[in-house]
Amino acid sequence: MISALNHRQQLSGNKLFVVLFFLIIGGIACSASRKAGYLPNKRPATDSVPQTQIPDKQKQEEEIKKQKYADVPAFVNDFHVALFLPFYVNQEFAPGSYNYQVVESVSDYYQGVLLALDKLKRDGIIVTLHVYDSRKDSMETVRLLSKPEMPSMDLIIGPLDPGSFLAASAFSKTHKIPLVAPFLMMDKDVIDNPFAFFCSPKLEAYGNRAATHLLEKKKTGTILYLTDNSKTDKAFKKGFIEAQKDKKLRVTERLLNGELNPKSLLVKGEDSLINYILIPSDKEILVNGALRAFREAEDEGYKLQVIGLDSWLDFRDPEIEHWNKMHALIATASSQSGVDSAYRAFYHAFRARYQIPPGDFALKGYDQMLFFGKALLTFGKHFPKYVLDTHFDAIGMDYYWNFNGKVVENKSVRLIYFHQYQFIPLK
């Protein structure tokens, strides 16, 4: 079974945990079987854990550098990571409230980070985690950043709210400390920091991935692009066009909410001739209406495949029958497969440690901490200039880091397709 999260949705009180549970049987039910509500013991007990004295690493690095070539970064396998999350320690919230769900999400993420640290330790990577309760309060974040140990950090993860992240970004840039934005939370364009890593791909990356997929096809039927002229559509289209610099696709464009005469737009021929219908829209009524418009063409034997967005996973009444008939291809930044051996190992390790199944954010914490921990071991805190423009695989999401002139953003997007009422990863 594959489950996927709408990775573009900001951390909020609505639909935080999106799991495709309808009509899907088999595999591991990841989030659907989670116990309701967060467990208080999932959160750290204080706003800074642990309180430790950081050794003088500069002297150690200078000694190591004497034994290495000058152009190779010198660092000690003894890394310090600051984690800023809104745990709201010693505060309780009503079940279902906004803050309740935020705490549950970041607690899941924190548990995933801790599990990754266990793995890094077994691999010989020494990481000390310093945990801070930022409470989504920029003034509290500024206070925490003024702590004496902060300039010695090798990596900062979070905080989540825009004001706090701006403060952390300024600190990161001044001290040349890599900074990670673990979730989608603000417009990347307001940040100018080459040390800032944004894990959530922009919509342009979704369009780029869809175009790349189509460019790989030797032969296609009609490529029909249904536009709603929304902000989502325009961003997707920008990436879709940019991916066609060397080779152009023949694309027919129509309004999503216009009158559609599908059979006049499609071609019918050999079995391998597939018509592709791109619908980069978050609007459920328009998307469902378009899918229903192609019902007759489906019944008359036209080969169709629809390409959509992970926001469709949030639809209240998705057109599942049409997803299945049209082998819906969904662009998403993250997905989980119950038959993947790496995911199963993560799942069982998480259950063994916490006695509950992992949530979606737990896997994000695990993937991100593993990647950045290994990057630190390989390049130290200098890793930002060594990991660019290279593809890195992980369990729940992949990474392709690209510096856009202001920040480093992840441009890796997965495609999963819906077949026999379950999602299958597209290799």
The tens digit of pLDDT for each residue in 135-162 reads 999 999 999 999 999 999 999 999 999 9
Of 299, 332, 365, the last residue of a domain is 332
Taking the CA atoms of residue 374, residue 6, residue 26 and residue 299 in that order, the dihedral angle to the nearest 10 degrees is: -130
Please state, in angstroms and rounded to a whole number, the distance separating the CA atoms of residues 146 and 133: 14
Residues 207, 196 within the same domain = no
Pairing of β 155-157 and β 179-181: parallel
Give how far Cα 299 sits from Cα of 126, 173, 275, 278, 326, Å. Answer: 60, 58, 14, 20, 11
pTM to 2 decimals?
Answer: 0.84
Q: Report if residue 163 sits inside a domain.
A: yes
Residues 72, 181 within the same domain = yes
Q: Report if residue 53 sits inside a domain.
A: no
Q: Report if residue 244 sits inside a domain.
A: yes
pLDDT at 26: 33
For the residues 190-204, what does the mean pLDDT come to?
95
Q: Is the pLDDT of residue 223 over 50?
A: yes
Residues 317, 229 within the same domain = yes
More confident position, 36 or 232:
232
Residues 122, 136 within the same domain = yes
Give the mean pLDDT of the chain: 85
Q: Report if residue 424 sits inside a domain.
A: no
Q: Report if residue 346 sits inside a domain.
A: yes
pLDDT at 22: 28
Q: How many C-beta atoms lie closer than 10 Å to residue 215's C-beta?
A: 14
Of 290, 309, 332, the last residue of a domain is 332
Q: Is the pLDDT of residue 27 over 70?
A: no
Domain that holds residue 173: 58-200+338-410
Residues 283, 326 within the same domain = yes
Residues 188, 231 within the same domain = no
From the centroid of its chain, how far is CA 331?
A: 12
Pairing of β 335-337 and β 2-4: antiparallel
Collapsed DSSP state (helix, strand, coil) of residue 115 = helix
For the residues 357-370, what does the mean pLDDT come to?
96
Q: How many domains does the chain have?
A: 2
Q: CATH number of the domain at 320, please.
A: 3.40.50.2300
Residues 69, 196 within the same domain = yes
Query: DSSP alpha helices (H): ranges in 219-333?
Result: 231-242, 262-265, 284-293, 295-299, 320-325
Q: Report if residue 143 sits inside a domain.
A: yes
Reported in sequence order, the residue ranges of 182-303 that DSSP labels E, i.e. its strands, are 196-198, 223-227, 251-255, 275-278
What strand order describes the sheet that includes 48-49? 48-49, 127-133, 79-85, 155-157, 179-181, 196-198, 408-410, 399-403, 391-392
Residues 383, 370 within the same domain = yes
Q: Is the pLDDT of residue 72 over 60?
A: no
pLDDT at 184: 75
Of 287, 314, 332, the last residue of a domain is 332
Phi and psi at 187, nearest 5°, equal: -70, 125
Q: Report if residue 77 sits inside a domain.
A: yes
Residues 130, 239 within the same domain = no
Residues 119, 209 within the same domain = no
Q: Are 379 and 390 in contact (CB under 8 A)?
A: no
Tell the burial category of 173 from Cβ atoms under 10 Å away from its Cβ (0-12, 13-18, 19+).
middle
pLDDT at 46: 52
Q: Is the pLDDT of residue 291 over 70?
A: yes
pLDDT at 188: 65
Q: Report if residue 36 sits inside a domain.
A: no
Residues 322, 401 within the same domain = no
More confident position, 51 or 196:
196
Residues 285, 179 within the same domain = no
